[in-house]
A and B are shown apart, each in its own frame.
Chain A
Amino acid sequence: MIINHPLLGPCDAQEFVYKGDFRLIDRPDGMAESAEAAFFDYLYLRENPAGAHRELWFHEQGDRSWLVVTRNTVTHEITNVELARDVARSMGRSR
Chain B
Amino acid sequence: MRLGTGGQIDRETKLSFRFDGRYYKGHPGDTLASALLANGVRLMGRSFKYHRPRGVLTAGSDEPNALVELRSGGRQEPNTRATVIELFDGLRAEPQNAWPSLKFDALAINDRLSTFLTAGFYYKTFMWPAAFWEKLYEPIIRRAAGLGAITTKPDSDAYDKGFLHCDLLIIGAGPSGLMAALTAGRAGARVILADEDFRMGGRLNAETFSISDMAASEWATQTIAELSALPNIRLMPRTTVFGAFDHGIYGAVERVSDHLPVPPEGKPRQILWRIYTQRTLLCAGALERPIAFANNDRPGIMTASALRAYVNRWAVSPAETVAVFTNNDDGHRTAADLIARGVKVAALIDTRPDAATVSGTELLAGAQVIDTTGRLGLTGITVKLANGQTRKLAVGALGVSGGWNPNVALTCHQRGRPAWDERIAGFVPAGDLPPGMTVAGAAEGQFSTHAALAGGAEKAVRALTDLDIEATLPVLPDSEDAPTRITPFWHVKGDKRAWLDFQNDVTVKDVKLAHQEGFRAVEHLKRYTTLGMATDQGKTSNMGGLAVMAELTGQTIAQTGTTIFRPPYTPVAMGVLAGRSTGADFRPSRLTPSHHWAQEQGAVFVEVGQWLRAQWFPRPGETTWRESVDREVRATRGSVGVCDVTTLGKIDVQGRDAAAFLNRIYCNGFDKLAVGRVRYGLMLREDGIAFDDGTAGRLAEDHFVVTTTTANAVPVYRHMEFARQCLWPDMDVQLISTTEAWAQYAIAGPKARKLLQKLVDPAFDISNEAFPFMACAEITICNGCPARLFRISFSGELAYELAVPTRYGDALIRRIMEAGAEFDVTPYGTEALGVMRIEKGHAAGNELNGTTTALNLGLGRMVSTKKDSIGTLLSRREGLTTADALNLVGLRPKDPQVRIPAGAHLLEKGAKAVAANDLGYVTSACYSPTLGSYIAIGFLKNGQARMGESLRAASPLTGEDVEIEIVSAHFVDPEGERLRA
Are A and B physically bound partners? Answer: yes
In A52-95, the 8 Å CB interface with B consists of 56, 58, 60, 64-66, 74-78, 83-85, 87-89, 93-95
In the complex, whether B415 has a CB less than 8 A from a CB of chain A is: yes
Contact of B728 among A1, A31, A84, A93 (CB under 8 A): A93
B719 to chain A, nearest CB (A): 10
- Contact assessment for A64 and B727 in the assembled complex, using a CB-CB cutoff below 8 Å: no
Closest Cβ of chain A to B218, distance in Å, is 41
Contacts of A17 in B (CB 8 A): 718
Say yes or no: B872 contacts A95, CB within 8 Å. no
Contacts of B714 in A (CB 8 A): 60
Alpha-carbon distance A64/B730, docked complex (angstroms): 17
Contact bitstring B646-666, A, C-beta under 8 A = 1, else 0: 000000000001000000000
Interface residues of A in 27-68 (CB under 8 A from B): 27, 29-31, 35-36, 39, 42-43, 56, 58, 60, 64-66
A-B contacts counted at CB < 8 A amount to: 81
**Which residue of chain A lies nearest to B276 when distances are taken between CB atoms in the complex?**
A2
B435 lies within 8 A of chain A by Cβ: yes
Are B718 and A84 in contact, with the CB atoms below 8 A?
no
B23 interface hit (Cβ, 8 Å):
no
Bound form: Cα–Cα A60–B415 in Å:
30
Q: Which residues of A contact B473 (CB under 8 A)?
A: none
In the assembled complex, the Cα of A17 lies from the Cα of B715 at a distance in Å of 10
Q: Does B249 contact A (CB under 8 A)?
A: yes
Give per-residue flags for B298-314: 1 if the beta carbon is below 8 A from chain A beta carbons, else 0.
00000000000000000
Are B687 and A43 within 8 A (Cβ)? yes
Distance in Å: Cβ of B722 to nearest Cβ of chain A: 6
Let me know if A39 and B873 touch, CB within 8 A: yes
Q: How far is the CA of A77 from the CA of B247 in the complex (A)?
A: 8
Instruction: List, in ascending order, chain A residues with CB within 8 A of B718's CB.
Output: 17, 58, 60
CB nearest neighbor in B for A1:
B246
Residue total for B at the interface (Cβ-Cβ under 8 A): 30
Alpha-carbon distance between A87 and B432 when the two chains are bound, in angstroms: 32
- Contacts A64-B721, A66-B721 given; does A30 touch B731 at CB 8 Å: no
Q: List the B residue with the shortest CB-CB distance to A42.
A: B686
Partner pick for B873 among A25, A35, A78, CB 8 A cutoff: A35
- Are A2 and B872 CB-contacts (below 8 A) given A75-B432, A89-B730, A95-B730? no
| Contact status A2-B729, CB under 8 Å | no
Q: Encode B702-724 as 1/0 by CB contact (under 8 A) with A.
A: 00000000000010001001100
Complex CA gap A17/B721 in Å reads: 13
Q: Which residues of A contact B726 (CB under 8 A)?
A: 24-25, 56, 66, 84-85, 87-88, 93
Asked if B415 and A75 sit within 8 Å, CB to CB, the answer is yes
Nearest Cβ on chain A to B876's Cβ, whole angstroms: 8
Classify the interface of chain B: helix, strand, loop or mixed. Answer: mixed
Whether a CB of chain A sits under 8 angstroms from the CB of B849 is no
Query: Is B725 a contact partner of A65 (Cβ separation < 8 A)?
Result: yes
Q: Is the CB of A77 within 8 A of B435?
A: yes
List the B side residues contacting A76 at CB < 8 Å.
Answer: 246-247
A56 to chain B, nearest CB (A): 7
Known interface pairs A1-B246, A2-B247. Does A43 touch B874 (Cβ–Cβ under 8 Å)? Answer: yes
- Residue from A1, A17, A39, A87 whose CB has the most chain B CB atoms within 10 Å: A39
Does chain A have a CB within 8 A of B213?
Answer: no
Which of chain B's residues have a CB closer than 8 A to the CB of A64? 721
B868 at the interface (CB under 8 A from A): yes
Is A85 within 8 A of B731, CB to CB?
A: no
- State how many angstroms separate the Cβ of A70 from the closest Cβ of chain B: 14
Assuming the A-B contacts A58-B722, A65-B725, A88-B725, are A43 and B730 also in contact, with contact meaning beta carbons closer than 8 angstroms in the complex? no
CB-defined interface of B858-869 with A at 8 Å, one 1/0 digit per residue?
000000000111
Q: Which residues of A contact B686 (CB under 8 A)?
A: 27, 39, 42-43
B738 to chain A: closest CB distance in Å?
A: 14
In the assembled complex, the Cα of A29 lies from the Cα of B657 at a distance in Å of: 19
What residues of A have a CB within 8 angstroms of the CB of B721 in the complex?
58, 64, 66
Expressed in whole angstroms, the Cα–Cα distance for A16 and B596 within the complex equals 33
Provide the B676-697 mask, 1 if CB < 8 A to any CB of A, else 0: 0000000000110000000000
A94 B730 Cβ-Cβ under 8 A: yes
For A93, the closest partner residue in chain B by CB is: B729
- B249 neighbours in A (Cβ, 8 Å): 1-2
Task: Report A71 CB to chain B, min CB distance, Å.
Answer: 10
Which residue on chain A has the smallest CB distance to residue B876? A36
Residues of B within 8 A of A65 (CB): 725
Q: Which residue of A lies closest to B732 (CB)?
A: A95
Chain B residue nearest in CB terms to A14: B274
A19 to chain B, nearest CB (A): 7
Chain B, Cβ-Cβ closest to A74: B415
A24 and B718 alpha carbons, distance in the complex (Å): 14
Beta-carbon nearest neighbor of A29 in chain B = B868
Task: Give B729-758 as 1s and 0s: 1 = Cβ < 8 Å from A's Cβ atoms.
Answer: 111000000000000000000000000000
A30 touches B872 (CB 8 A): yes
Residues in A whose Cβ lies below 8 Å from that of B432: 75
Given known contacts A58-B721, A76-B246, A30 and B728 CB-to-CB distance under 8 angstroms = no
Q: Hey, which chain A residues are within 8 Å of B727, CB to CB?
A: 25, 27, 88, 93
> Which of B246, B435, B726 has the largest number of chain A CB atoms within 10 A?
B726
A89 adjacent to B868 (CB under 8 Å)? no
Report B409-458 residues with CB < 8 Å from chain A CB: 414-415, 432, 435
Report the separation of the CA atoms of residues A84 and B726 in the bound assembly, to the nearest whole angstrom.
6
- For the complex with contacts A31-B868, A58-B721, 15 further pairs of A-B residues with Cβ separation under 8 Å are A1-B246, A1-B249, A2-B249, A19-B722, A24-B726, A27-B686, A29-B868, A30-B868, A30-B873, A65-B725, A66-B721, A75-B432, A75-B435, A93-B727, A93-B728
- Chain A residues at the B interface, C-beta cutoff of 8 Å: 1-2, 17, 19, 24-25, 27, 29-31, 35-36, 39, 42-43, 56, 58, 60, 64-66, 74-78, 83-85, 87-89, 93-95
**Interchain Cβ contacts under 8 Å between A and B, 27 examples:** A2-B246, A2-B249, A17-B718, A19-B722, A24-B726, A27-B686, A27-B727, A30-B872, A31-B867, A31-B868, A42-B686, A58-B722, A60-B714, A65-B725, A66-B725, A75-B415, A75-B435, A78-B247, A83-B725, A85-B725, A85-B726, A88-B725, A88-B726, A88-B729, A89-B730, A94-B728, A95-B728
| Residues of B that sit less than 8 Å from A by CB | 246-249, 276, 414-415, 432, 435, 657, 686-687, 714, 718, 721-722, 725-731, 867-869, 872-874, 877
The 4 closest A-B pairs by CB, nearest first: A30-B868, A94-B730, A2-B247, A30-B873
